[in-house]
A and B are shown apart, each in its own frame.
Chain A
Amino acid sequence: MPLKRVVITGMGALSPFGRGVDTLMNALLLGESGVRILPELADIRGIRTRVAALVPGVDPGEIPRKYRRSMSAMSVFAALATGDAIAQAGLSGEQVHGGRLGVSIGSTIGSPRTTQAFFDDFRTDNSVERMKSGVFFHIMNHSCAANVTHMFGITGRTVAPSAACSTGALAVGYGAEMISMGKQDFMVCGGADEFHPLTAATFDIMNAASTRFNESPGRTPRPFDRDRDGVVCAEGSGILLLESLDSALRRDAEILAEIIGFASTSDPESIANPNAANIAHCMRQALLDAGIGAAGVDYVNAHATGTELGDIAESEAIHSVFGDRVPTSSLKGNIGHAMAASGALELAASVEMMRREILLPTHNLDHVDPLCASVPHVREVTRRRVDTVMKNNFALGGVNSSLIIRRFRQ
């Protein structure tokens, strides 16, 4: 059975710069940082990081109460981004509701804010008498995906991949495979997460959160930089509307990019630490899937979160696959690490880089760490036409993912 080609025809983003892919791109082009001091972190005993990148200016009230009651912040982000992606793709009501559109959207966990609110109340008198009906719909693992299907009346498949930092990329990859196999014609794919101190603490206790720039938030995280000191947690949602090429051509949709390769591999060496050889294996598997060699890739959008070990491992892996030929950058210096949303947000920005014929630099990369210097880093906004991009994401738990997109041609 011949596989179908898969293209991207719509995108939506809720990022620390606000709503919209254009908003995100404008901020990235200006070299802005979405990282801010979060005063509430100072009230938490034991946490050392004081910075995060939160989504500003969202009005959940634009979502009708009937749908909003089952949504925590992460589902609100996912729903708004999905609406924007569907609008850009220009899908008709029949295409949205008719069963050929599915959903593949994941988060790291269900809503930590609602989980905390429930247990705060529950523990006061060991009672569930005040538990509202919406609690479960906020904290279930497929909360974002289910809320999106309900709000838009989507009747195809619902899947909610969850693999922490790889979630968004996996959701896109698995969605693309479903279209490729002909199971769906359209998929809304991506990830979403909402900030909670638990997320920052997870990295902080492992000495992987940024703590030295608490008074100068715009200077952290610093992917690949010699002075990097860890992750800055962010929130948001990135959503891509994937579609079979046949369908996109049939309805004369604007094709933003084609997804030509995807791989996900597991790394059983360590549940926390990345391994260069295993990352390289994932990237090579993606090349195999795309049917191209290393020479066919023009730019790598790295996972690079600004941690000591992760950035070195990824640099070594990129070098072992591509040598010193392929320009590389990470967008986390601007956005922070939006967890489950990061892969899809960064993929959307990568699509735009290809369309606008520019490469965005790694923000805060002032002095390349010699251990990360084996790859050519993008240091400034660079005018350059690239046709094929690899997007990496690697997750706690040992889940690697690499996507390859290409400028569309017949």
Chain B
Amino acid sequence: MTGTMDCATARLALLEEQRGRLDGETSSALAAHLHECDACARDDAAERLLTEQLERQLPQRAAPLALKRRLAAQWPTPVAVAARRWPSRRWLAAAAVLALVVLGTWGWWSMRGRPETLAAEAVNDHLRVLARVERLDVPSGNMHVVRPWLTGRLDFAPVVPFVGDADFPLRGGAIEHFLDRRAAIAVYERRLHVITLLVARPDGLPWPAPGRPLTTRVRGFNVRLWQANDLGYALVSDLDATELGQLAARLGG
């Protein structure tokens, strides 16, 4: 045993430290122990190396397209439910469509005033990114390649203060629609997790006030919204909130 933490406790804490889940006091005690204990420091190096190799090398197999089609067909969609409930007369269908358009427009206008709407739309964008993550518009880990490409296709210059690092490597960029406007997308990774950063013009939308970021959870995804550089930012992932916060801090949010 060295310091205030014994080797057995330190070994169990190594992974939690890797995941950023240790509180400050325990993290400091572990760091002190690793500084003094060569055996545990080596074990820490091996554990980090193992995680890195698992994340980089372990083959990831995607579900076959045929399976995805079967699954999609298995789910009742809202449209299908509606079709079963309404008679098939044309005038009734037309009236229903008209009502949906009117109600949908009214609902959209009333909902767009709430930050929750932004978070929900950011999750939708994230899902679209996930669906084409292997086919991003700019599949590059170099922000100096991604940003100029994005700038040339938007009516604003996206400011992305973080170019990626070993913890959160940049995977690429893309353009997505965000409500009524186009948005720049930067995609980062953390282990096997995909993280979507969305940057859009904030005018007319209820982004949190500058310096007052909002963290929320939508449909199982963690979402962080903030406003800076006269732009609106949304960060979305299934990554846990602590690690997402670490990336947000690098991005100035």
Partners in one complex: no
B residues bordering A, Cβ < 8 Å?
Answer: none
